[in-house]
Amino acid sequence: MRGWLRVLIPPRSLESELEEYERADPSRTDVLAWSGAAWAASLSTLRLLESILFALVLFVVLFRFRASARVIRAALWTPALACLLLYLLWTTAVTLAHLPPIEGWRDLGALVPERRFLLPLMLVPVLHRWRLLLLGLVAGGAIEVTAMLVRAALRASVWPELSVELTDGTQWTLVALVAAGAFAAVSAERGARVIGATFALLALGLQGSLTQRAPFVGSLVALLAVAVLGFRFLRPRVRVALAILAPVLLALAIGASILGGGVAAKRLESLSSLASYERLNDYTSSRLELWRLTLKAVAEAPFVGHGRGTWRTEIDRVALAEPEQTAASERIVEAREIQYSHNTLLDVLFESGAVGLALLGATIVLGLRGAFRRLPGETIAVIPIAAFLGVLAASQFEFVIVRSIQGATAFTLGVLVLMPRPSASQWERSGLGRSDGWISRLFGSR
């Protein structure tokens, strides 16, 4: 009985387990941390490289299985990860309940969480190295911006057919770059300030000149979040610079989008015609109609939901059952490649009902409450919090849980923000000294 209790109730806190994990084998912990940071950077590059690095992180975690399992067990009892686990279990149960028994068990493999759901368990053992993981995300965004500039130069000179459009999903990593660049622009040393402002402006300008609205909105929200959070927790002199920089970057980003024919330009065309639902629906790539049909399906099972993998069937049924089909709903029925409503809030409600949404909401609310409490002692945490809020805003135009790079970016930022972790001062007092303080100084933070 006592053995079962030790399994069900961790004998030590997550902070204590992380300290032992670091002390027992700092070299392998270093390998895991740097591998995790390299994997985060690879989200903006080759999919093959991202897969290889993901496998390396998984190998290092499993190589230290017993120690990793102790950390993961302690982490599962933290409010954020416990609520996420309950959400996954609830969604799986609802999905099985909506499938015929034989078909349900045959397709059980499809219900197993995809690899993005493994990210919290893989990154938790190096949670105390969260600054390094954050730097990986920021570096990945910088690599993507640089690659885009190179492609643009080649297109303007020797390769006019070359596409400059980003691979779907990689723009989401630029949200972290915008947050980090804006923070560094007002906090870091002079050289880092110039680099931070340059990359933030380039990322915003490139996003705005393209047509993917979700990450552009996410970056604008991240920029505003840096301004709001930074104004509360940064030094008085820095607040003035932030109050000037944020609206300037915002105006330049929207201006670049309009001049470049990107997101904002497409939203500003023929404003007089937006009073028409059909016209407005066209401007939102049929999202309004997707949301309307999904809401009708949600109303049929508001508390429990319909389970995973049923959206296409249910939306077809709801659309065809209407007395008179609109041109917009006909297009959606014909577009068989659409498999979700492109709104995380609605899709979670559809799959898991109000219960699933409440569990996922509790994950975010409880985690953010702890993150805000840590801010006064670690102002660099403004960056991941702002980036996470930006990703949450962008998720209103996508279903991040089923998307590869979008989901990986959201889950990685979620680990950095929502999970409790040792502070830099607490870690140094324990005598370990692996606080990655140089990264904080790089962004001008303590």
- Residue pLDDT, tens place only, 192-236: 888 888 888 888 888 877 767 888 889 989 988 988 887 776 666
Residue 309 lies in a domain: no
- Alpha-carbon span 69 to 383, nearest angstrom: 29
Q: What average pLDDT does range 325-347 have in this prediction?
A: 82
Residue 226 lies in a domain: yes
In one letter, which amino acid is 85? L
Are 93 and 32 in contact by the 8 Å Cβ rule? The answer is: no
pTM of the model: 0.90
> Is the confidence at residue 106, as pLDDT, over 50?
no
Q: What average pLDDT does range 79-83 have in this prediction?
A: 91
Residue 155 lies in a domain: yes
Residue 236 lies in a domain: yes
Tally the domains of the chain.
Answer: 1
Residue 423 lies in a domain: no
Residue 248 lies in a domain: yes
Q: Using pLDDT thresholds of 50, 70 and 90, give the confidence band for residue 270.
A: very low
pLDDT score of 379? 87
Q: Which residues of 97-109 are buried (b: 16+ CB within 10 A; e: fewer)?
A: ebbeeeeeeeeee
User: What's the gap between Cα 228 and its chain centre?
Assistant: 20
First to last CA, the chain: 47
- Alpha-carbon span 146 to 316, nearest angstrom: 43
- Alpha-carbon span 234 to 203, nearest angstrom: 24
Q: Measure Cα distances from 428 to 12, 105, 124, 153, 245 in Å.
A: 20, 50, 19, 46, 34
Residue 31 lies in a domain: no
pLDDT score of 58? 92
Q: 137: closest CA among 402, 390, 360?
A: 390
Where is pLDDT greater, at 255 or 307? 307
Q: Using pLDDT thresholds of 50, 70 and 90, give the confidence band for residue 434.
A: low
pLDDT digits (tens, 9 = 90+) for 59-71: 999 999 999 999 9
Q: Using pLDDT thresholds of 50, 70 and 90, give the confidence band for residue 297.
A: very high
Residue 162 lies in a domain: yes
CA angle 192, 441, 56 (to 5 degrees): 95
pLDDT digits (tens, 9 = 90+) for 388-425: 999 999 999 888 888 888 999 999 999 999 999 887 77
In one letter, which amino acid is 227? A
Are 390 and 173 in contact by the 8 Å Cβ rule? The answer is: no
Q: What average pLDDT does range 118-141 have in this prediction?
A: 93
Per the structure, the complete domain to which residue 159 belongs is given by 151-268
